[in-house]
Amino acid sequence: MAEDRRTRRTRRALRDALVELALERGYAGLTVEDITERADVARATFYSHYRDKDDLLTRITADLLQELDERLHPLAEETQTGFTGKPLTELFRHARQERGLYLVILRGEGDGKALRAFHDESARRVGEVFSTRTRHSGVTPRLPADLLARAWVGEQLAVLHWWLEQDPAPMPAEEAGRMLLDLAVHGRLWASGYGSPS
C-alpha cells in the first residue's frame, strides 16, 4: 500500500514536471535530467517507470484519456438517443482542470504523437456512440460513421485548444459545450446567420 502511494506520487511528480517544463520551454529540448531535477526524482527511479520522455508523455496521455472516459461513461446511456451536450461540457470541465496537460497534447508536443493518440481514441469512442445511437434510432447515416466521428472530434479539439489557450477562458465550459452542440444540431449555415433552426 505504501509502495503504491509512493509510486503514484512519483509518477504524478514526473507528470507535473514534464507538463510544467514543456509549457515553459517547449518539449523538444527537454531531457530526462531536466524532468527528474524538476520532479526531485532520481534518474534511476525515472527509468524504472519509463523508457524515455516520449514514453512518459504517451503514458500520461493514456491516463488522461482513461480519466476522461471515467467521467463520460455515466453519460453514455442518456446520449444513445440524441445529443444532450453533457459530454461536451464534461470534456471542457476536465480540460479546465487539467489545462496544462491538455495544452501540451493539443499543441502537438512530442512530434504530435500524443495529439494523434488522443484524437484517434476519441474518434473511436465517438464512433461507437454514433453507431449505437443510429441503431437505437433506426436511421441510416448519410456519411460514413468514421468520417462523422473524426469530423466531430476534430471540431471539438480545435475549439477546445482555442478555448484553453486564452486565459481567462472566453466563455464558461457550459457555454462552449452548448455552442458546439448548436453547431452540430443546426449546422454551419444556421450558425452563420442563414435560415432558421431545423
Distance, CA of 23 to CA of 161 (rounded, Å): 14
pLDDT, the chain, mean: 92
Q: Residue 80: is its pLDDT beyond 60? A: no
Q: Do 46 and 57 belong together in one domain? A: no
Q: Residue 198: is its pLDDT beyond 90? A: no
Q: Do 27 and 64 belong together in one domain? A: no
Q: What is the CATH number of the domain that holds 40?
A: 1.10.10.60
pLDDT, mean of residues 1-19: 90
pLDDT, mean of residues 115-130: 93
Please check whether residue 196 lies inside any domain of the structure.
no
Residues in the chain: 198
> CB within 8 A of 10, min separation 6: which ones?
39, 41, 45, 49
Q: Do 62 and 17 belong together in one domain? A: no
Cell of 4: 503504491
Please check whether residue 198 lies inside any domain of the structure.
no
Q: Does the model's pTM come out above 0.85?
A: yes
Query: 125, 69 in Cβ contact below 8 A?
Result: yes
| Number of separate domains in the chain | 2
Weakest-pLDDT range from 88-102, 138-152, 184-198: 184-198
User: What pLDDT sits at residue 77?
Assistant: 63
**Taking the CA of residue 75 as centre, how many other CA atoms within 13 Å lie in the half-sphere pointing to its CB?**
19
**Taking the CA of residue 112 as centre, how many other CA atoms within 13 Å lie in the half-sphere pointing to its CB?**
3
Q: What is the CATH number of the domain that holds 93?
A: 1.10.357.10
Q: Do 142 and 166 belong together in one domain? A: yes
Cell of 32: 530526462
Distance, CA of 82 to CA of 130 (rounded, Å): 9
Which amino acid belongs to residue 36? T
Distance, CA of 72 to CA of 179 (rounded, Å): 19
Q: Do 180 and 160 belong together in one domain? A: yes
Band (pLDDT 50/70/90 cuts) for residue 100 is very high
pLDDT, mean of residues 82-98: 89
153 or 1, which is more confident: 153
Q: Do 89 and 182 belong together in one domain? A: yes
**Residue 81 three-state SS:** coil
Q: Do 62 and 43 belong together in one domain? A: no
Domain carrying residue 171: 52-191
Please check whether residue 93 lies inside any domain of the structure.
yes
